[in-house]
Amino acid sequence: MSIAFIGLGNMGGPMAHNLLKAGQKVYGFDLSEQALQQFAQAGGVVCQSPQEAARQAEVVISMLPAAKHVKDVYLGENGILSVLKAGAYCIDSSTIDPQTIQQIAEVAKARHIAVCDAPVSGGTLGAQAGTLTFMVGAEHDTLIAVSSVLKHMGSNIVHCGDVGTGQIAKICNNLILGISMAAVAEGMALGAQLGIDPQALAGVINSSTGRCWSSEVYNPWPGICPNAPASRGYRDGFAAQLMLKDLGLALQAAAQVDQSVVLGEFVQQYYQQLCDQGQGHLDFSNIIQHYLPEPALA
């Protein structure tokens, strides 16, 4: 199968790598020269534009920062929908609002191209290990067709319903994640300030009722989880600016249905402050900085 991969960043890069490892032919495009170099080293075919990649493809996967990038790649002046063959499948794994992907799917349907949303959970570690969870919004036939590609990048494929419902699942999940990371950071920082060894505290939390993904797999305190961004200077993870974007999507969706999201609104301010301080590119677990005097993490 020939696959076009648009957006080879922290997530898309390792996802494309796993497709190549599985023996798929992958045509890739990214705006970043460095991302393209790494993709070429892994055996991918570098293209000069999204259209050039899509022209060759039966399946397109996009993994882009936000809705405006996705809209531009699919529907823009040089958008891929105008060059894809009828019968092609498109999988957008970016985290965006449900309406944008529904709009793209409508345009695509008129050209006999099936578009689905398949945002992911599992972070950069899951992308590298090929153990992502895909939350798929698609018609049944599309789900069956795209599952044969998604299985090379993830270990869990969840059908959420029609196009757009994958994004609904994703933004609700990330609302919880943004809040739970802040909760773990608050508890870890308080424990350290009160004098307990952070390793001992994490050990207790992770065998007690405070346990969650943010405490066990992705602990914000350095050194607790050797593979987590906190243990490498909060680099190469899920950027705080992306978490801020996701909370914005959740709050916007909540406003549409008049639902209150008090905790979400509260932690949104903390991630906003990280971004305002020029730390938006660092992992979102860096939210722990809010709770500590500067030298405590040195």
Total Cβ atoms within 10 A of residue 9: 19
Helices (H), 57-164: 67-75, 98-110, 123-129, 140-150
Residue 130 is a binding residue for ligand NAD (CB under 6 A): no
The residue (of 12 and 280) whose beta carbon lies closer to ligand NAD is: 12
Residue 97 is a binding residue for ligand NAD (CB under 6 A): no
Single residue of 3, 4, 5, 9 touching ligand NAD by CB under 6 A: 9
Q: State which residue has the least CB distance to ligand NAD.
A: 9
Tokens of 58: 């039966």
Specify whether 151 is catalytic: no
b/e per residue 216-229 (b: at least 16 CB within 10 A): bebbbbbebbeebb
Q: How far is the CB of 125 from ligand NAD (least distance, A)?
A: 8
The residue (of 193 and 227) whose beta carbon lies closer to ligand NAD is: 227
List the Cα angle 66/177/61 in 5-degree steps: 35
Single residue of 4, 12, 228, 264 touching ligand NAD by CB under 6 A: 12
Q: How far is the CB of 154 from ligand NAD (least distance, A)?
A: 11
Say if residues 111 and 81 touch (Cβ distance below 8 Å): yes
Residue 242 is a binding residue for ligand NAD (CB under 6 A): yes
CA distance 50 to 83: 10
12 CB-near residues (< 8 Å, 6+ apart): 5, 6, 30, 35, 61, 63, 64, 93
Single residue of 3, 5, 7, 17 touching ligand NAD by CB under 6 A: 7
The residue (of 192 and 240) whose beta carbon lies closer to ligand NAD is: 240
Residue 92 is a binding residue for ligand NAD (CB under 6 A): no
Residue 67 is a binding residue for ligand NAD (CB under 6 A): no
Tokens of 90: 């498109």
Residues marked as catalytic: 170
Residues that bind ligand NAD in the complex, under the rule CB under 6 A: 6-12, 29-32, 35, 50, 63-65, 69, 72-73, 94-95, 120, 123-124, 238, 242
